[in-house]
Structure 1
């Protein structure tokens, strides 16, 4: 699976939240300034050619739905981020975000709790 462009990802986020939608329904969910109808339609057709989206037909209207699960895309994107920017090291990524994001005490406690749970598995 290839990485989605920003425009493709924006459309996919709407399809993931809507589950099934027409181009008009996706367009209505996008923030201002909204792209043209044809732009959204073209992006959805590209996603369909990539095998990420499919459709059901009803007359002239198509209802689109995601074939790619959001969780699967998140996992793949995170792996690519860690590999590309942190030499494949999760600890390097965590260290970077801990330094750069000015984590609150509560966030650090939550992270420690998750790490301890993972350690005890």
Structure 2
């Protein structure tokens, strides 16, 4: 998993849909995307790039391909969060939490919930 790259915004949008539907054909992914719908070729190209990057594999049905995620949303979340923690917070969860508190991205209720999680995992 360490050799996986982070996704571009467009790639992540396609992966979100593949994760949500558990895999599918290009037309299935397009059906899930908001209007205005991207062109079939655009989505197909992005999915092939995702396959090259190792995020997706395919099953062949004649000339059609059904695409399946090879990494779970949770695995990707761990990868991205780990990189964020390493690259921007010197591997300090305390620094990251402080940042979110200072930026008002977290309210007191969320902080209390985090404290409950911490206490439960002691």
Equivalents in 2 of 1:93, 1:85: separation in Å?
8
Structure 1, gaps ≥5 residues long: none
Equivalent runs, 1:56-67 vs 2, <5 Å: 56-67=59-70
Query: Is the 2:101–2:107 Cα contact (8 Å) retained in structure 1?
Result: no
Equivalent runs, 1:50-61 vs 2, <5 Å: 50-61=53-64
How far the C-alpha of 1:81 sits from its partner, in A, is 0.8
How far the C-alpha of 1:102 sits from its partner, in A, is 5.2
Aligned residue pairs: how many?
Answer: 119
**CA distance change for structure 1 residues 6 and 102 in 2, over 3 Å: closer, same or farther?**
closer
Equivalents in 1 of 2:104, 2:21: separation in Å?
31
Given the alignment of the two structures, is residue 9 of structure 1 paired with residue 26 of structure 2, yes or no?
Answer: no
Q: TM-score, normalised on structure 2?
A: 0.90
- Deviating above 6 A after TM superposition, structure 1's stretches of 4 or more consecutive aligned residues are none
CA RMSD of aligned residues (A): 1.3
How far the C-alpha of 1:31 sits from its partner, in A, is 1.4
> Cα deviation per residue 1:67-105 (whole Å; 9 max; x = unaligned)?
111111100100111112112211000011112125333
**Partner of residue 99, structure 2:** 96
How far the C-alpha of 1:29 sits from its partner, in A, is 0.6
Query: Is the 2:55–2:70 Cα contact (8 Å) retained in structure 1?
Result: yes
Structure 2, gaps ≥5 residues long: none
**CA distance change for structure 1 residues 102 and 36 in 2, over 3 Å: closer, same or farther?**
closer
**Partner of residue 51, structure 2:** 48
Given the alignment of the two structures, is residue 72 of structure 1 paired with residue 75 of structure 2, yes or no?
Answer: yes
Query: Is the 2:30–2:37 Cα contact (8 Å) retained in structure 1?
Result: yes
Q: TM-score, normalised on structure 1?
A: 0.91
Equivalents in 1 of 2:119, 2:112: separation in Å?
10
